[in-house]
Structure 1
Amino acid sequence: MSVVEQYARAHIVTDEDLREDPGAVPVILRYDPDTDPRSVRVGLPGTNEWTFSRALLEQGLRVPAESGDVRVWPLGRVQAVVELHSDHGTSVVQFESKALLRFLRRTYMAAPVAR
């Protein structure tokens, strides 16, 4: 099976000076069915990759979902938020939902869910 990699643009939500929009940053979405067919990885600029359940990402696009240090929820009709907690703090990342949906579709083409 093949690895799925997709670059997306996302906004890092911060409480720093809210008068200036820092703009979108590049984020890498990865899925390797040979290594871990149930998980996806999100790589933010300047940090390590976060690994969490592919099912959590899918569920969080419809309704708020949480597992461990990761929360995902829809934000209106066209955006989604991924909140990542660590010992070093919290990262809140806002995506266009269609980018995450496109990524999920590609992962299911690479490795359908085993039933």
Structure 2
Amino acid sequence: MPAVIDHTVQARLVTVPSVTREIPVALRYDRHDPFAVRIVFPPDVSLDGHEVTWVFSRELLEDGLHSAVGHGDVHIRPDGTERTVVELRAPEGVAVIEFGTGGLRRFLRGTYELVPGGTEHLELDLDNRLTALLRGV
């Protein structure tokens, strides 16, 4: 079974009210970081021309499909039944991205097949991580 799920979807980047740009966005899940999901943006949409990755909880994405949720720099809310809006807040400004809810659901389904909800802690190798952290102390 794979350790990483990469799922590319088309999303719409809202640059100003009513103006959107279609962009390919990678949704990524790694069983070695089982509580997190990643949204990876291509270099051509970033301010510095480099790929940009945002990391937040899988649970936040799941909850955002049903109701408005937000923690810190990431806010997610449904927009009707077929679209989900993700707002990413940074010092440079706010990025608003619209996703097809179906694509997000398929991605999440794959993550839960890889690591079922409630079993994430079994994927963590805390002993080795703690040893690495304390090495040389």
User: Is TM more than 0.5 here?
Assistant: yes
Amino acid at match of 1:111: V
Question: Could you list the runs of 5+ residues in structure 2 that have no partner in the other structure?
Answer: 47-51, 120-137
Question: Could you say which residue in structure 2 is the equivalent of 1:12?
Answer: 13
Give 1:31's aligned residue.
Answer: 29
Deviations 1:5-45 (A, max 9, x none): 000000001117x4x653x21000000011x1000000122
Identity of aligned residues (%): 40
1:60 paired with 2:57, answer no
The match for 1:44 among 36, 41, 59 is 41
**Per-residue deviation at 1:91?**
0.7
Q: Which has the higher contact order (CA 8 A, sep 6+)?
A: 1
CA distance in 2, matches of 1:68, 1:97: 22
Which residue pairs with 1:113 in the alignment?
Answer: 117
Structure 1 residue runs of 5 or longer lacking an equivalent are none
TM-score, reference length from structure 1:
0.90
| Cα 1:106–1:92 shift into 2, 3 Å | same
Q: How far 1:4 sits from its partner (Å)?
A: 0.6
| Alignment RMSD | 1.5
Change (3 A) 1:112 1:91: same
Instruction: State the 4+ residue runs in structure 1 displaced beyond 4 angstroms.
Output: none
Paired with 1:72 and 1:21, the residues of 2 have a C-alpha distance of 18
Give the TM-score of the pair, scaled to structure 2: 0.76
Alpha-carbon distance, 1:109 to partner: 0.6
